[in-house]
Amino acid sequence: MTADGWGQTTLTNNPASDWGPVWSPDGTRIAFVSDRDGNREVYVMNADGTGQTNLTNNPGWDWPPVWSPDGSKIAFGSDFDGDEEVYVMNADGSGQTNLTNNPDVDVSPVWSPDGARIAFQSYRDGNSEIYVMNADGSGVTRLTYNPAWDHEPAWSP
Protein backbone atom coordinates (compact mmCIF):
# COMPACT_ATOMS: atom_id res chain seq x y z
CA MET A 1 0.00 0.00 0.00
CA THR A 2 1.02 3.59 -0.21
CA ALA A 3 2.27 5.34 2.92
CA ASP A 4 -1.17 6.87 3.49
CA GLY A 5 -2.90 3.44 3.41
CA TRP A 6 -4.35 3.61 -0.10
CA GLY A 7 -3.75 1.14 -2.90
CA GLN A 8 -3.66 -1.95 -0.71
CA THR A 9 -2.77 -5.09 -2.65
CA THR A 10 -2.71 -8.71 -1.48
CA LEU A 11 0.60 -10.26 -2.51
CA THR A 12 0.15 -13.74 -1.07
CA ASN A 13 -3.12 -15.63 -1.18
CA ASN A 14 -3.09 -19.05 0.43
CA PRO A 15 -4.72 -20.62 3.52
CA ALA A 16 -1.38 -20.76 5.36
CA SER A 17 0.23 -18.02 7.44
CA ASP A 18 2.65 -15.62 5.77
CA TRP A 19 4.46 -13.08 7.95
CA GLY A 20 7.64 -11.12 8.62
CA PRO A 21 7.96 -9.44 5.21
CA VAL A 22 11.15 -7.45 4.53
CA TRP A 23 11.97 -5.48 1.39
CA SER A 24 15.22 -6.09 -0.44
CA PRO A 25 17.50 -3.03 -0.36
CA ASP A 26 16.74 -2.25 -4.02
CA GLY A 27 12.97 -2.60 -3.49
CA THR A 28 12.47 -5.28 -6.14
CA ARG A 29 11.91 -8.30 -3.88
CA ILE A 30 10.31 -9.21 -0.56
CA ALA A 31 11.50 -12.02 1.72
CA PHE A 32 9.05 -13.48 4.24
CA VAL A 33 8.20 -16.59 6.28
CA SER A 34 5.37 -18.97 5.41
CA ASP A 35 4.13 -22.30 6.75
CA ARG A 36 2.35 -23.18 3.48
CA ASP A 37 4.56 -26.27 3.04
CA GLY A 38 3.81 -27.63 6.52
CA ASN A 39 6.51 -25.84 8.49
CA ARG A 40 8.01 -22.36 8.65
CA GLU A 41 10.20 -21.60 5.63
CA VAL A 42 11.85 -18.48 4.21
CA TYR A 43 10.37 -17.41 0.87
CA VAL A 44 11.18 -14.64 -1.55
CA MET A 45 8.95 -13.03 -4.17
CA ASN A 46 9.02 -10.14 -6.58
CA ALA A 47 7.63 -6.87 -5.19
CA ASP A 48 4.38 -7.46 -7.14
CA GLY A 49 3.85 -10.89 -5.49
CA THR A 50 4.94 -13.00 -8.46
CA GLY A 51 7.69 -15.60 -8.38
CA GLN A 52 7.10 -16.85 -4.82
CA THR A 53 9.96 -19.25 -4.09
CA ASN A 54 10.81 -21.35 -1.02
CA LEU A 55 14.48 -20.63 -0.27
CA THR A 56 15.11 -22.77 2.79
CA ASN A 57 13.06 -25.95 2.17
CA ASN A 58 14.24 -27.81 5.28
CA PRO A 59 12.43 -29.80 7.99
CA GLY A 60 13.18 -27.19 10.66
CA TRP A 61 11.32 -24.01 11.51
CA ASP A 62 12.76 -20.82 10.08
CA TRP A 63 12.31 -17.29 11.46
CA PRO A 64 11.95 -13.96 9.69
CA PRO A 65 14.73 -13.09 7.28
CA VAL A 66 16.84 -9.94 7.02
CA TRP A 67 18.58 -8.78 3.84
CA SER A 68 22.23 -7.79 3.78
CA PRO A 69 22.66 -4.11 2.88
CA ASP A 70 23.82 -4.99 -0.65
CA GLY A 71 20.94 -7.47 -1.17
CA SER A 72 23.23 -10.40 -1.97
CA LYS A 73 22.57 -12.39 1.23
CA ILE A 74 19.78 -13.13 3.67
CA ALA A 75 20.27 -13.95 7.36
CA PHE A 76 17.57 -15.86 9.25
CA GLY A 77 16.99 -18.01 12.31
CA SER A 78 16.38 -21.76 12.05
CA ASP A 79 16.19 -24.84 14.24
CA PHE A 80 17.16 -27.06 11.28
CA ASP A 81 20.11 -28.55 13.22
CA GLY A 82 18.06 -29.22 16.37
CA ASP A 83 18.42 -25.89 18.14
CA GLU A 84 17.85 -22.29 17.14
CA GLU A 85 20.79 -20.85 15.20
CA VAL A 86 21.59 -17.87 13.00
CA TYR A 87 22.09 -18.82 9.35
CA VAL A 88 23.05 -16.88 6.27
CA MET A 89 22.43 -17.77 2.61
CA ASN A 90 22.77 -16.22 -0.79
CA ALA A 91 19.67 -14.32 -1.92
CA ASP A 92 18.74 -17.26 -4.18
CA GLY A 93 18.75 -19.72 -1.24
CA SER A 94 22.08 -21.35 -2.06
CA GLY A 95 25.02 -21.56 0.34
CA GLN A 96 23.05 -21.89 3.57
CA THR A 97 25.56 -21.66 6.43
CA ASN A 98 25.11 -21.96 10.19
CA LEU A 99 26.96 -18.95 11.60
CA THR A 100 26.47 -19.45 15.33
CA ASN A 101 26.78 -23.25 15.71
CA ASN A 102 26.02 -23.07 19.41
CA PRO A 103 23.90 -25.46 21.53
CA ASP A 104 21.91 -22.56 23.01
CA VAL A 105 19.31 -20.35 21.34
CA ASP A 106 20.65 -17.74 18.89
CA VAL A 107 18.01 -15.61 17.11
CA SER A 108 17.04 -12.18 15.74
CA PRO A 109 19.97 -11.47 13.39
CA VAL A 110 20.37 -7.96 12.01
CA TRP A 111 23.06 -6.75 9.57
CA SER A 112 25.28 -3.77 10.30
CA PRO A 113 24.77 -0.92 7.81
CA ASP A 114 28.07 -1.78 6.07
CA GLY A 115 27.23 -5.52 5.92
CA ALA A 116 30.43 -6.48 7.75
CA ARG A 117 28.81 -7.67 10.98
CA ILE A 118 25.62 -9.24 12.32
CA ALA A 119 24.15 -8.51 15.75
CA PHE A 120 21.93 -11.17 17.32
CA GLN A 121 20.28 -12.32 20.53
CA SER A 122 21.65 -15.35 22.37
CA TYR A 123 20.90 -17.32 25.52
CA ARG A 124 24.39 -18.86 25.66
CA ASP A 125 25.18 -17.20 29.00
CA GLY A 126 21.99 -18.16 30.81
CA ASN A 127 19.72 -15.29 29.79
CA SER A 128 19.07 -13.26 26.67
CA GLU A 129 22.01 -11.02 25.77
CA ILE A 130 23.07 -9.15 22.62
CA TYR A 131 26.10 -10.34 20.68
CA VAL A 132 27.82 -9.27 17.50
CA MET A 133 29.89 -11.29 15.03
CA ASN A 134 31.55 -10.85 11.69
CA ALA A 135 29.29 -11.64 8.72
CA ASP A 136 31.10 -14.99 8.32
CA GLY A 137 30.32 -16.03 11.93
CA SER A 138 33.79 -15.35 13.33
CA GLY A 139 34.66 -12.96 16.14
CA VAL A 140 31.58 -13.48 18.33
CA THR A 141 31.53 -10.80 21.04
CA ARG A 142 29.03 -10.28 23.85
CA LEU A 143 27.80 -6.68 24.05
CA THR A 144 25.35 -6.63 26.99
CA TYR A 145 25.92 -7.77 30.58
CA ASN A 146 22.92 -7.59 32.86
CA PRO A 147 20.32 -9.87 34.48
CA ALA A 148 17.47 -8.43 32.37
CA TRP A 149 16.59 -9.90 28.99
CA ASP A 150 18.19 -8.05 26.08
CA HIS A 151 16.68 -8.88 22.71
CA GLU A 152 15.97 -7.75 19.14
CA PRO A 153 19.10 -5.67 18.49
CA ALA A 154 19.07 -2.77 16.02
CA TRP A 155 21.94 -0.86 14.44
CA SER A 156 22.03 2.91 14.19
CA PRO A 157 22.33 4.09 10.57
Per-domain residue ranges of the chain: 18-142
Q: Which residue has the higher pLDDT, 62 or 82?
A: 62
The residue-averaged pLDDT of 85-106 equals 95
Q: Residue 80's pLDDT is what?
A: 87
Give the closest residue to 73 by CA, choosing from 42, 52, 105, 107. 42
Quickly state the pLDDT bin for 125 (edges 50, 70, 90): confident
pTM (two decimals): 0.94
The residue-averaged pLDDT of 65-81 equals 96
Question: Taking CA 42 as the corner, what is the angle to CA 83 and CA 106, rounded to the nearest 5 degrees?
Answer: 30
Quickly state the pLDDT bin for 147 (edges 50, 70, 90): very high
List pLDDT tens digits, range 37-63: 989 999 999 999 999 999 999 998 999
CATH tag, 18-142: 2.120.10.30
The Cα 23–Cα 45 span in angstroms is 10
Q: Mean of the per-residue pLDDT values for the chain?
A: 95
Question: Taking CA 105 as the corner, what is the angle to CA 63 and CA 75, rounded to the nearest 5 degrees?
Answer: 40
Q: Residue 143's pLDDT is what?
A: 97
The number of helix segments (H) and strand segments (E) in the chain equals 0, 12
Q: Residue 81's pLDDT is what?
A: 83
Does the pLDDT at position 23 exceed 90?
A: yes
Q: Cβ–Cβ contacts within 10 Å for residue 109, how many?
A: 25
Strand order from edge to edge, sheet including 97-98: 66-67, 73-78, 85-90, 97-98
Residue 67 neighbours by CB under 8 Å, 6+ apart:
22, 23, 24, 25, 31, 73, 74, 91, 111
Quickly state the pLDDT bin for 82 (edges 50, 70, 90): confident
Residue 82 neighbours by CB under 8 Å, 6+ apart:
none
Give the closest residue to 89 by CA, choosing from 76, 79, 105. 76
The Cα 60–Cα 142 span in angstroms is 27
